[in-house]
Structure 1
Amino acid sequence: MNANAVSADMRASRPASAAPSSVSLVWIYALLAVLAAMHLSMVLGRSINWDEFWFYSQVETAARGEFLRPLQTIHTRFFYWWLPAMPGTEVTHILIARFFMLACLVVTSVGIFLAAETFSDKRTALLSVAAFLCAGYVLQHGTSFRVDPIVTAFLATGFAIAARTRLTLPSILALGAVIGIAAMVTIKFVLWAPAFAGIALWRWQDEEWDWHYPLRWIAAGTVAIGVFGLLYAWHGMDIAGEAASEEAAATLSRSSGKMFGLLANPNYPLVLKGLATALPLAIAAALVPWHALKMNAPWTRKVALIGIWFPVLTPIYYYNAYPYFYSFILPPVAVACAFSIPAMVRRYGQLTFAGIILLSALAVWIVDPRGVTAKQQHLVETVHEIVPEPVNYFDCCGMIGSYPKSNHFLTSWGIEAYMAEDRPVLLETMREVPVPLLIDNKSWFQPAFGSEEKTGIHPEDAAAIGDTFIHYWGQVYLAGRELSPGETLEWDVLVPGTYTVRGEIAIEGDTYSNGDLIALDRGNAVLRNTGQTSATLVWGKNPHIAETVPPEKIWTAF
């Protein structure tokens, strides 16, 4: 009896209920299913980051037909015609959009698998995908409503095309198209350049250094430039040519000025946290250079592998390496890990390695804060109840995306740019357009209301905001003034419109009672509390008085 017959007899004699062997692919598929379930739960349960609110506000801006810079806003073209029309608030719409980001993550995972399988086998490629998906920052931010999942899906697709094809004409067109689209999504697509150079060098050797192969890459690059140019022209067609060019140049200047710099990343504690919450991938990545040095292959293979692996070093020189960045930069690293994972599996066994991946993901998933999204929903719903019609407003991040935000995005970049102008930008805005609503959702405006904390707000802006807005509910402020009994003051009205009297107030000598409405124009108005209790003049026609307890801690830290 030969070996095959013996093996067949053993399989036939195994009880039907016997568990799969420890080396069966069933365990890896089960692991991927559990990881997929975790990512799905993050779509619905992970708190919304301020970047996601800003991202959604750009979609609403496009839907209103307002100006958007031509670079890094192409994503709005896909969402603006349907997402704002969906039922629910901004929070609901972001959660809906996250399912599209989940689809992007699936595309990225398939791209990792296809590329990794080129260098290994099916088992190793699946484990490379699992190691990527279990990384803490990928689990938490891989489906966030940002440009990162979108551009990563395009780049991972292009990487798989480069890894698995000889770049015939259809492949050249496809590769050029996805890279051109990626460039329109975000200029940081260039951070994948070492990985693409690595895969190009590897595949060129596979082609036995055929001189036609580099020409195919040049052709793909030409296609990418053409696709980028067409998309740029289409997306910016509503902007005057000179204005579009100026805005594009400003975007490139701002971004490039903050992108690179040796040891420029101010977030090294976050890098260490990322390593600690992605140990399977981190260890596998750390072993890749050792494997490259030891592999029995020409030096060009070693250089190519290091190129594919090189993006893991990006946090050393990339300024904006926040946690959401890692789901964008780690896919080529996961592909490179296809060279080191087999050694780990041989040493510890497939089940042990898969178990470590699962435990690593569970350690992040279990402790991730729940319930924050409900607090965000509560705040957004209450704002819509207090101010039911769109108005200009100030806040940190465009949280009420369906209303026009009238101040800068309060990221570290945005605050630095604001401070660099060294002028009262917010006061100037208030003099140009009525801004009756302020949501202090990151406490940046608190110096205007008596806090001694230094947030960077210009003193004249702080004075104007403190003089214009009154605390209404939670983090919500409305234009208005509060007067103590018998108090008289001259108020510079920066927000013209209809106001509601609560109490007894004389305005320019005319007396108004509780509930009366009065229209105020810009300019000074003399207010006097004629009653025996405190009185309030508040913007709006009897704005809703919320009786619910305002939510606290509406953000989850990185």
Structure 2
Amino acid sequence: MNGNVRLPEREALWPLAVIALLLVLQFSMIFTRSINWDEFYWNYEIEAFVKGGVSRPLQTLHARLFSWLPGRPGNAVDHIVLARCFMFACEIASLCFIAGIARRFTGRANACLCALAYLSAGYVLQHGFSLRSDPMVTAALTGGLYVLARRKITALSVLCFGLLAGSAPLITIKCILYLPAFAALFWLRLSESGRSIAAPGRLALYPAAAVIGFAVIYLVHSATMPAAALIASTGGDAAASAAKASGAMIGASVRAMFFIGAPPYLPMMIKSASISPAFAVLLLLSPIAIWRITLTRPEKLALSGLLSVILTLFVYRNSAAYYYVFVLAPVAAALGPSLSLARKRVPVWALSTIFLVFALLVFAKEDRTVIARQRQTLDAVHRIFPDPVAYFDHNGMIGDFHKMNLLMTPWGMEQYRASRENSYRSAMQSRPVPLLLENDALLTEVMTGDRPAGILSAADVAALRGNYLRYWGPVWIAGKRVPGSVPSVRAEFLVPGDYKVVGSPLRVDGSVYDPGSIVPIDRGIHELSTQEDRDTLLLWADAAEPPSAHPPRGDLFVGF
């Protein structure tokens, strides 16, 4: 134990029992927790991958793993719940790896407490099973760290390391943020090899295996992507297209990854500490505890390397709540020394109880009503549009339809403003977009607010407000309202197709149509006038009757 007093093995049963309880509670959250916006986007990307609409191999390995999801019974919520079960398994693997890494530096009870500290952290409890890159890449990277920290250099361990570390960049390129942890453990292994001449060469097998593993997985993944077949069928070079798409993605991601100054998600950092105070206290104690405990200098450096990953919160831009699933894993593995200090005053059972209590507080505050509203909304969309259509929304919530706008996240809106283009109007001019789903406050402000300036361009706001009418709750469809109080109006239609007259007879470009009539409308300016002194509607004819049930009241997403 390197200087620590070995306590009875049965003390590890306390944190193990709490871990088991929390895993049972967290498993229930798979089915009751609101689907987050980017979980819907991940599902949308899976759908696009299967249809050949994704050409970059990097950051799309999840799409291959879940390519069986499209076509399954149910809507996007049901698909995501199934995928969450796999992510839950990834989290369990991460817990095992965290305990295994910690065991290299501390006793069994402390190692189990490290895993418990991770699982009970508020944001991990809420997002550890989410359909995102974080649970997957955390399992892969902590697995690689475990192999490097604990396993002898054998053909099997090198192969496992190559597969785990090599697959990480294909999940997300933010895996590079673990480099200090890997470098520190590599230095530990090198320092423990003494003066062996062969040791550096044998250890070099690990990074070599990671590079080879990445290359093999990348080549196989890119060559067998549905998009590669589509590109090849049109006479294009699939490999060159994949490389170009990956290069563009890397360039855009690197430019957006880091920041200088105040953390953009500082409130979430504060909230994370407030809902996980035990973890926060152990984290603050760790630098002192690591250098006070009886360990070799390389061991202390290794623990410091694991702990240093937390500093990425001050340089990595996209460090929202779900990022803590990724960033806290190596940090938790380094909490052994601070737990040893804590255990001088607090027994293992009490520490386990403390972690449990704060986790239960987070669990108790879960809003379990939102996921039902999400299901109801998606069911309504599929009822109104039985066949897929193009649409606008915040995050790709309707996975099997074709999203026509960028993600309306802070990063996506930065891209929108930087382009200086009226991309919504351009999208409407490229193909009919009969649906708009108002599933975010940004879209609510655009469609109903008085001051949308700064969200979208004036041309895009005018295009959206002038071509869609609210149909059912957050569902807007292509349409026009013709006021009966004016003789006639000249209106621009950006969604060409068949429209149905609702209300009173309507004159369109000189021809009169009775209520219920279908009017073919081309893209462009049309003259409209009502035949009676009341408003008349032109609604997208292919939209089915809306559900008879009232639209859901309340938000479609929960905040962080």
TM-score of the alignment, normalized to the shorter chain, above 0.5 = yes
Q: Which residue of 2 aligns with 1:300?
A: 298
Q: Is the 8 A contact 1:172 1:216 kept in 2?
A: no
SS in 1 for 2:343: helix
Q: Which residue of 1 aligns with 2:353?
A: 355
Moved more, 374-383 or 280-289: 280-289
Distance in structure 1 (CA, Å) of the matches to 2:250 and 2:9: 52
Displacement, 1:264?
Answer: 5.0
Displacement, 1:252?
Answer: 1.3
In structure 2, do the counterparts of structure 1 residues 340 and 212 end up closer, same or farther at CA, with 3 Å as the change threshold?
A: farther
Q: Which amino acid in 2 is paired with 1:311?
A: V
Q: Is the 8 A contact 2:436 2:477 kept in 1?
A: yes
Distance in structure 1 (CA, Å) of the matches to 2:273 and 2:407: 29
Q: Which of residues 427, 430, 444 is equivalent to 2:428? A: 430
Q: Which amino acid in 2 is paired with 1:444?
A: L
Displacement, 1:544?
Answer: 1.4
Moved more, 30-39 or 234-243: 234-243
Q: Is the 8 A contact 1:172 1:217 kept in 2?
A: no
Structure 2 gap segments, 5+ residues each: 1-7, 232-237
Distance in structure 2 (CA, Å) of the matches to 1:77 and 1:245: 18
SS in 2 for 1:444: helix
Q: Which residue of 2 aligns with 1:386?
A: 384
Distance in structure 2 (CA, Å) of the matches to 1:208 and 1:497: 76
TM-score by length of 1: 0.92
Q: Which of residues 114, 129, 145 is equivalent to 1:159? A: 145
Distance in structure 1 (CA, Å) of the matches to 2:191 and 2:60: 38
Q: Which amino acid in 2 is paired with 1:184?
A: L
In structure 2, do the counterparts of structure 1 residues 147 and 261 end up closer, same or farther at CA, with 3 Å as the change threshold?
A: same
Per-residue CA deviation, residues 83-137 of structure 1 (Å, 9 max, x unaligned), is 1122111111111111111011011111112211222222221111111100000
Distance in structure 2 (CA, Å) of the matches to 1:42 and 1:457: 36
Q: Is the 8 A contact 1:469 1:481 kept in 2?
A: yes
Displacement, 1:222?
Answer: 2.1
Distance in structure 2 (CA, Å) of the matches to 1:542 and 1:317: 47
In structure 2, do the counterparts of structure 1 residues 262 and 299 end up closer, same or farther at CA, with 3 Å as the change threshold?
A: farther
Per-residue CA deviation, residues 282-316 of structure 1 (Å, 9 max, x unaligned), is 22222221122223344333222211211122211
Distance in structure 2 (CA, Å) of the matches to 1:542 and 1:22: 65
User: Are positions 1:246 and 2:248 aligned together?
Assistant: no
User: Are positions 1:215 and 2:201 aligned together?
Assistant: yes
Displacement, 1:141?
Answer: 0.7
In structure 2, do the counterparts of structure 1 residues 209 and 326 end up closer, same or farther at CA, with 3 Å as the change threshold?
A: farther
Displacement, 1:363?
Answer: 1.5
Moved more, 67-76 or 542-551: 542-551
Q: Which of residues 266, 269, 279 is equivalent to 1:268? A: 266
Displacement, 1:455?
Answer: 4.6
Distance in structure 2 (CA, Å) of the matches to 1:172 and 1:545: 58
Distance in structure 2 (CA, Å) of the matches to 1:263 and 1:216: 41
- Residues 314-333 of structure 1 mapped to structure 2, 5 A cutoff: 314-333=312-331
Distance in structure 2 (CA, Å) of the matches to 1:335 and 1:544: 55
Identity of aligned residues (%): 34
Q: Which residue of 2 aligns with 1:499?
A: 499
SS in 2 for 1:466: helix
User: Are positions 1:523 and 2:509 aligned together?
Assistant: no
In structure 2, do the counterparts of structure 1 residues 542 and 49 end up closer, same or farther at CA, with 3 Å as the change threshold?
A: closer
Displacement, 1:533?
Answer: 2.8
Distance in structure 1 (CA, Å) of the matches to 2:199 and 2:409: 44
Q: Which of residues 56, 60, 63 is equivalent to 1:76? A: 63
Aligned pair count reads 537
Q: Which of residues 113, 120, 124 is equivalent to 1:138? A: 124
- Residues 365-384 of structure 1 mapped to structure 2, 5 A cutoff: 365-384=363-382
Distance in structure 2 (CA, Å) of the matches to 1:136 and 1:542: 43
Q: Is the 8 A contact 2:396 2:407 kept in 1?
A: yes
Displacement, 1:24?
Answer: 4.1
Displacement, 1:211?
Answer: 4.0
Q: Which residue of 1 aligns with 2:549?
A: 548
Q: Which residue of 1 aligns with 2:54?
A: 67
Distance in structure 2 (CA, Å) of the matches to 1:326 and 1:311: 11
Distance in structure 2 (CA, Å) of the matches to 1:165 and 1:451: 62
Moved more, 453-462 or 308-317: 453-462
Displacement, 1:492?
Answer: 2.2
Structure 1 gap segments, 5+ residues each: 1-20
SS in 2 for 1:236: helix
Distance in structure 2 (CA, Å) of the matches to 1:143 and 1:450: 36
